[in-house]
Structure 1
C-alpha cells in the first residue's frame, strides 16, 4: 500500500507547484480586476451632461463657461471612484487649504436662537465693477471653518466677491445654543436672517446664492418660499443636493453603492453633534426634547431615526414624513425665476440616480435652469489632477465662479452680452 502511495505522490508531485502557480496568478488577476472595477479605471472622462432649454441666456452661458463644456478630468488612479472622491472630501476637504480672514456676526432670532455667519470682504474689485456678495450655505453640520468652504471663499474673494457663510445652528464648536433647537434639513430661518442682514448692511450689493449638499436644499427652498427672497439675487448655484428628502431616505436605506454605510456614518456624526448640545436642549423650559428622545437617539443607526426622534420636533412636525415633505425644496424650486445652476455627479454614492430626474425635468421645463451632471466627482469631491495628487482648486470651485462671472456680465448695466446673445 505504501508503495502505491509513493508512486502516486511521485506521479503528481511535479504538477502541484505548477497548479499552485496557476492559482496564484488567478488570485492576482481577480484582485486586479476588482481594483480596476472599484476604481472605475476603464471609465472614460467626459464633459458634463447638460440639460437646458435653448434660450439666449443658455447659449451665452455655454459659450462663456468652458468648464461646463470641456472634459472634467479627475486624478487618474483614484479620481474615477465616487467612493474615494467622497471619502477624501469627507476626511480632508481640500488640499493646501487657505485661511481667509473674516468677521463673525451674531444675529438674534425671534425664537431666542442666535444665528451666526462669517463675513469675508473681497480681495479686489469685481470685473464688472459691481458690489456683489456670495451668500453661502454649507453642507450638513458644516460651517465656515471647513476646508472646502475656506478654499471656495478664498477663490471667490480673489475674483472680487464678498462672501457671507452661514454657520449652521449648533455646528460651530464652543458656541452654545440659546434656544432648544438646531439646524434642520430645510429650515431657512438662519439663512434668511443672514441674507436680510447683508441686504441692510450693503444696500448696493447684489447677491449670488450658493448651497452645498444640504445647503443646496435650504437655498433653493428659501428662494422659492417668497418672491421677495429673490430680490437683488443675480443667480443661484446648488451642488450635490438630493432635492426630495422623502425619496432620498427610501434610497438611503439601501445597500447598493454602500449607501446604508454612508447613512450610518452620517447618523453617527449627527448623533455626536446633537449630544454635544444635550444640556442646552434639555434644560430650556420650551424644549420639545426629553430624556426618552435622547434614549432613542443613542440607539439610532440612520438619519431617518434621528430625524424622527429629534429633528422633526424642533419645528413641531407630527411625523417624519410630514417633516420631509415640508422641508424639501422640490415643492418650492419651481417658483424660482433667477438663473439657476444645479450640479450633481453620476457617481455620488449619497444621491441615488433616481433623484436626478428632478433637476433634469426642471431644466427641461424652466428656461432659467441649467443642470450639469458629471460622470465623476463623488459627493462634493470634484477633485482635479493628473495621476495621483489632486490640485488645490476643484472643478466645482472653478465652475461656480466661472458661471457666476458669466451671469454678472450678462446682467451688467451696459447689456452688451445680452444684446449680442439675443442677436444670434
Structure 2
C-alpha cells in the first residue's frame, strides 16, 4: 500500500516534537472515563490485569489497547483512546502488561517488546466470552511493536480480528535504542531506566537467587538493562539477540489484516529503520502514515482528543 499522506497540522508550539511528547506523557489529563478491572490468569500461571470501559450502547465491537514501555492502562494516551472508542460505539479492553497494573507479576519474567503470547492470551480470553463479532487492536510504542509482531507471526488469526493501528512504533528496536542513547533523549532514557531498575529491585526481593546487586549496579544504560535482565529473563542470548528477534520489522510482510502505522517524522525515539516504507509499499494490508509532527505518542488535538485517537477510529470504521 502506498504511503498515506497525512493531514496532521497542529498549533505552532506543538510542532516541536519534544513539547508534543512531554505534554502527552506528563501534562495531559483525561476525565470522564469509567474503567472496570479484570484479572486474567495466563497459561504459565502468571496474570495480567485489564481495564474495561464500555460504550453507552450495546456493542459487538471491542478494541484492545496496549501501552508502551513502563506505561499502564491509566496513561492518558490509553484512557483517551478508550474514551474516544466508547463514544464511537466500541468497547475498550486496555491491557496492563505484566507488572504494570500496580501489582508485581508472579514470575521472574515480565513483559517485553516481543511477548506476543500475552496478547494472544487476552484475545483468546475475550473470544471465550463469545460477545464480540469484531476485534481491533491498537498499540503504542512498545505496544505497537507487539501488535505488529503478533499480526505478522505465522499463526492463524481469529476471524473476528478485523484490523489494527500502531502508533509511534520502534519497528527496529536496535535502531530505536541507538536514538534513545543519544544526548537529545537523555532525560527520557534516565526516566525509563529509573523506573525499570525500581521494578528490578522489587523483582530481586522475590527472586534473590536470580539477580544480584552487582548485576543491577552494572546497569548504566537501557541497553545494559536489556543485557542484564530482559534478555536473560526471557530466553534471549543478549540485548542484540532480543532486539533482532523481537523487532516487528521482519514480520510486516506477513500481515494479512488492514493495519495502520502512524510514526511522526519528528519522533526523537525512532531511527531511520523505524519507518517501514518499503514494507508498506509491498503489502496491500499495511498503511503507513508519516506526519511531519507529533513527537513520540504526542499528536496534540483540539478538545483533548488527539489526532491519532480520531484517525484510528476513522481507519477502523472503514472496515466495520
Say if 1:117 and 1:226 are closer, same or farther in 2 by CA, change over 3 A: farther
Q: Does 1:186 align with 2:114?
A: yes
Name stretches of at least 5 consecutive residues in structure 1 with no aligned partner.
1-50, 54-61, 63-67, 386-390, 409-424
Larger radius of gyration: 1
Q: Does 1:139 align with 2:68?
A: yes
Following superposition of structure 1 onto structure 2, how do residues 252-401 of structure 1 map, counting pairs within 5 Å? 252-255=180-183, 258-282=184-208, 288-297=210-219, 300=220, 302-352=221-271, 354-358=272-276, 360-385=277-302, 391-401=303-313
* Corresponding pairs, count: 320
Q: CA deviation at 1:230?
A: 4.8
Q: Does 1:214 align with 2:142?
A: yes
Q: CA deviation at 1:221?
A: 1.0
Q: CA deviation at 1:204?
A: 4.4
Output one character per residue of 1:99-147: Cα deviation in whole Å (capped at 9) or x when no partner.
4223222122233311221122222256xxxx11101111111121112
SS in 2 for 1:227: coil
- The 1-side partners of 2:236 and 2:156 are apart by 26
Q: CA deviation at 1:156?
A: 0.4
8 Å CA contact 2:176, 2:274 repeated in 1 = no
- Higher-helix-fraction structure: 1
Structure 1 moving runs of 4+ over 3 Å: none
- The 2-side partners of 1:143 and 1:113 are apart by 17
SS in 1 for 2:93: strand
Q: CA deviation at 1:83?
A: 0.9
- The 1-side partners of 2:75 and 2:179 are apart by 27
- The 2-side partners of 1:405 and 1:103 are apart by 25
SS in 1 for 2:284: coil
Name stretches of at least 5 consecutive residues in structure 2 with no aligned partner.
none
Say if 1:99 and 1:311 are closer, same or farther in 2 by CA, change over 3 A: farther
Say if 1:136 and 1:252 are closer, same or farther in 2 by CA, change over 3 A: same
Output one character per residue of 1:388-420: Cα deviation in whole Å (capped at 9) or x when no partner.
xxx311111111111111221xxxxxxxxxxxx
User: Who is 1:52 aligned against?
Assistant: 2
Following superposition of structure 1 onto structure 2, how do residues 5-154 of structure 1 map, counting pairs within 5 Å? 52=2, 71-76=7-12, 78-92=13-27, 94-95=28-29, 97-124=30-57, 131-154=60-83
Q: CA deviation at 1:382?
A: 0.4
User: Who is 1:10 aligned against?
Assistant: none
User: Who is 1:176 aligned against?
Assistant: 104
Q: TM-score, normalised by structure 2?
A: 0.92
Q: TM-score, normalised by structure 1?
A: 0.71
Q: CA deviation at 1:370?
A: 1.0
Following superposition of structure 1 onto structure 2, how do residues 182-261 of structure 1 map, counting pairs within 5 Å? 182-255=110-183, 258-261=184-187
